[in-house]
A and B are shown apart, each in its own frame.
Chain A
Amino acid sequence: MSSQRTAVENLGARGRSWGRIALVLGIAGLALGLWLGSARGDGFRRFEHAWLVSCLFFLSLSLGALFFVIIQHLVRAGWSVVVRRVAEIVAANTLVTALLFAPLVVQLLRGDSSLWPWADANTVHGNPLLEGKAGFLEPRFFALRCVLYFGIWILLGRWLLRRSTEQDTAQDAKPTLALERRAAPAMVAYALSVNFGAFDILMTLEPTWASTIFGVCFFAGSVIGFFALSILLLRFLQARGFMRASVGVEHYHDLGKFLFAFVFFWGYVSFSQFMLIWYADMPEETFWFRERFHGTWANVSWVLLFGHFVLPFAALLSRHTKRALGVLAFLAVWMLCMHAVELFWLVMPTAEKDGALVSGMDAACFVAVGGIWFFALARLAGERSLVPVGDPRLPESLAFENS
């Protein structure tokens, strides 16, 4: 087995045509979304919320991928080499998300407080909780922090992809060693930026509410999203004839185990957040959950408990579901849907106080951001090999079997 060489496969022309389809869908979604958003006559307030949910969804997939790639280098993993390139491409696809996210920050700088209410001086004035942190929740400082977070994510993702791609032709162990050495500081930068990024972008939507575990909850959801996406991308590519010689059921089994582990972890951290706030019962904290148990939002909360944790936990527990690829793919689709529901549940109650309402505009925004994101993903994949063919641990990954 160890002498086996893998042929270089890339998306090539098919990637370009998939990218074009995605772009057309994206632009159509954008046009429809903008039209539906303006038709509401609320100064694009609801549209901005929908746009934020979509941006965060695709951003979180890249952030989950970034975590996966960094940790593979950090622990010198061997099994994952064949599935790592797809993850690297997903992780590097943050520039497009930054560009899609930027209009929201520009609107904020122009004085639009429909998304982040702390930008409105009238809201802050007379509220001691908000006045105390007015220097921190300040549009320009906020924009600067966003630049910093996205800068870290873009640089990390690009660097990991570039060094790994270099190895495809050079057949050289040096990039592996360099990636291993720098994975640890990269992880530090990642942890800080994701933790505080989640506080800034998501938690300040409700500026008087704070929870120290919030960043960890967002991280857990992101990693679930990535593993689900990774399983689906690999199934999609294999169904179209790519990577058939390299990725097998053993690799899916391991991705399924990680999906299971992070479903469990998500349940653990979400329960910690909910239970501690419920138990202490302090009104300055409980209002956040009260909003999410008000009207039809309560249904969404219950859907998350069972759909995001209990059912997938039970379903993924068995070895058979992780090795039956059809079942695993179904669960991956399920988890991606639940991840979208979770982000909707995190963002939208500030805009839809009375109950959970999904509109055509939410779907349009999702297609818009998703289409453009997948277009960029296909371009990034481009002529690159879909497997890190020069990685010194490739033979180990090809021969990998779960004992």
Chain B
Amino acid sequence: MTSLPDLAAGSILASLVLYALTGGADFGGGVWALFNRGPRAEERERLIVQAIGPVWETNHIWVIVAVVVLFTGFPGAYALLSTALFLPVTLVLAGIVLRGSAFAFHSYHLHRERRAAGWGTLFAAASLLTPFLLGAVLGAVSAGMIRGTGLDNLASGTRSWLAAFPLSVGMLTLSSFSYLAAVYLILETDVPELREDFRLRAQASLAVVVLLSAAIPLFSGRGAPDFHRALTGSPWSLPLLGMNALAAIGAGIFLHRRAYRLARVCAAAQVTLLLAGWGLAQYPFLIRPDLTIRAAAASPEMLRLLLAALGAGALLLFPAIFLLLRVFKKDALFGR
């Protein structure tokens, strides 16, 4: 798995993992802001906004990296997906715009000590819609309904994503993001009551994530047959599913014992393994069942330069991100 196209496809997957672990949790924070009832609701919302504020724009860029690598490294696949999944991708965009702007306006108002419930609600609602649709797009790429190797022989309806499998992947994405957010948010505060609030949310969403991530492989046989065979019948299937189960059990135990740092590690591992499983089961296809990574790849010259740019960029980037987290997530990430 070291050819240039594979490396480029791998870097898309890596960007998606980083997006899920960082930007995904920001969306999850919005979901918790949407279902924010009961005592301490205002404190919780403030905590969510404070936790997201300094980092969400940086986190958001991972999805841009994924898209740019996709259209630079696999231009035909990008054109194909943009056409076959026109509607959900358009809706994802609307969600991204509304979430981001509404958050900026909302936190601006909070900063000025003015209440602006409208922006908060919009931010939260868009945080619900966007991950669900993003997941549905990933599901549609795997379901085997998008036929053809290029725009000239594209033979799929525009509704391939409106099926049980993609929509359940959407649900899994949404619940994973919410789960990550709840686990992360515990360590964003020192207030014991708030910690308990998010611990409870983390436990509940963990249950949903476990349920969905067990159900989807079991029931994907009809909705995504090839993907299902690869996911369950490959040499790596058992170890991967086993590791995922271990991470979930670990997260459950650590949440129960209030070992939050370890719970974080386990939650992040769970989401990483989910996406890794998707990537492995998708391999060697970019879009199942007709378009392989190799067939969709741009010229080797371009892939080499693209990977070099990504490598060099990462060298500059990671120290800067480390600085950002060091400044704002010191307690939560680095201990005291």
Whether both chains belong to one complex is answered with no
